[in-house]
């Protein structure tokens, strides 16, 4: 992620935005009686994914970035569950959700990669701090 200046540069954010569009299109097939239920839940979960990617990137630190990536992963699991509910209630078919399922899978894979990268950065930073402390203790500067 180094070198990126803006969350809009992230492939995960761009694909997550496409996922939002796909979710909104799919939700049009659900009955009006679900307007304040399943439709609203699906749309909020979908919007939450790129929103949290953006917020994590905007915070500028690995620790905050990791937190928001985890929230985005949670939202992706929510959306996956809500789409399954819509299929089980026969509001939509598996064929109708294929594009959304594929996009959701790809977004998740990207988020897992981002999570791994952030965890490595945090691990490296933690190891660097420990190394500095060991050197300071060895030099008698820290007691």
| Cβ atoms within 10 Å, residue 9 | 12
pTM: 0.83
| Cβ atoms within 10 Å, residue 107 | 28
pLDDT of residue 139: 72
Task: Compute the distance between CA of residue 118 and CA of residue 62 in angstroms, rounded to an integer.
Answer: 5
* 103-120 confidence digits (pLDDT tens): 999 999 999 999 999 888
Low-confidence ranges of the chain (pLDDT < 50): 1
Provide the residue ranges of all domains of the chain, joining segments of one domain with +.
7-117
Task: Compute the distance between CA of residue 69 and CA of residue 111 in angstroms, rounded to an integer.
Answer: 6
User: Does the domain formed by 7-117 have CATH 3.40.190.10?
Assistant: no
Task: Compute the distance between CA of residue 50 and CA of residue 22 in angstroms, rounded to an integer.
Answer: 13
Helix axes 94-138, 11-27, angle to 10 degrees: 150
């Amino acid at each position: 992620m180094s070198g990126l200046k803006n969350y809009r540069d992230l492939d995960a954010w761009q694909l997550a935005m496409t996922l939002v569009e796909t979710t909104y299109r799919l939700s049009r097939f659900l009955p009006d009686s679900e307007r304040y239920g399943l439709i609203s839940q699906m749309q909020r979960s979908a919007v939450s994914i790129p929103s949290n990617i953006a917020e994590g990137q905007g915070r500028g630190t690995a620790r905050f970035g990791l937190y928001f990536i985890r929230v985005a992963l949670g939202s992706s699991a929510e959306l996956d569950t809500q789409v399954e509910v819509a299929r089980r209630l026969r509001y939509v078919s598996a064929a109708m959700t294929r594009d959304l399922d594929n996009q959701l899978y790809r977004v998740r894979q990207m988020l897992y990669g981002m999570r791994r990268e952030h965890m490595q950065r945090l691990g490296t930073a933690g190891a660097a701090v420990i190394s500095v402390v060991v050197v300071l203790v060895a030099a008698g500067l820290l007691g």
